[in-house]
Amino acid sequence: MKSSFHGFRRKRVWIPLLVVCGLAASILIVDRRLMKGEAVLYEIGQGIRSRLDDFGDAYKRGDAGVVASYYADEFSGSEFGFARRERISEEGGIILEEWKAPPGPALDRSGFLD
């Protein structure tokens, strides 16, 4: 009887210990994968920021060739509507606005660049 009781006691200790170790290992693996993903996202963000900085600098200089290189040949668009903002509500210091693009036809690439 004594040996079976001690065997039962050992199982009660080892099973939770194995579960905890398994969970810890899983957390470490997931954390490592997230860190790799975070590094990739950081690099992508830095690349986007660099491209936007280049675009902004070219725009300020009036370098039409560089600015044009950022637009696809089949580009079509209109103004964003920053000038036509309509306040919908304000609550707790938060203002909700609707921005409307001005009416009119969409511009193609050459029209937008002009």
Domain locations in the chain as residue ranges:
75-114
Q: 15: part of which helix (H) or strand (E)? A: helix 2-61
pLDDT band at 95 (very low <50, low <70, confident <90, very high): very high
Query: Of 93 and 28, which is predicted with more confidence?
Result: 93
pLDDT band at 11 (very low <50, low <70, confident <90, very high): low
| Residue 13 dihedral angles phi and psi, to the nearest 5° | -85, -45
Which two three-digit tokens encode residue 80? 């964003």
Residue 9 scores a pLDDT above 60: no
* Identity of residue 114: D
With beta carbons less than 8 A apart as the criterion, state whether 95 and 87 touch: yes
With beta carbons less than 8 A apart as the criterion, state whether 64 and 113 touch: yes
* Identity of residue 80: F
Distances (CA, A) of 57 to 21, 62, 67: 53, 9, 9
Predicted confidence at residue 81, as pLDDT, reads 67
Residue 15 scores a pLDDT above 90: no
Residue-wise DSSP of 56-90: HHHHHHT-HHHHHTTS-TT-EE----TTSEEEEEE
Report pLDDT digits (tens) over 36-75.
Answer: 767 777 888 888 898 889 988 998 998 888 888 888 888 8
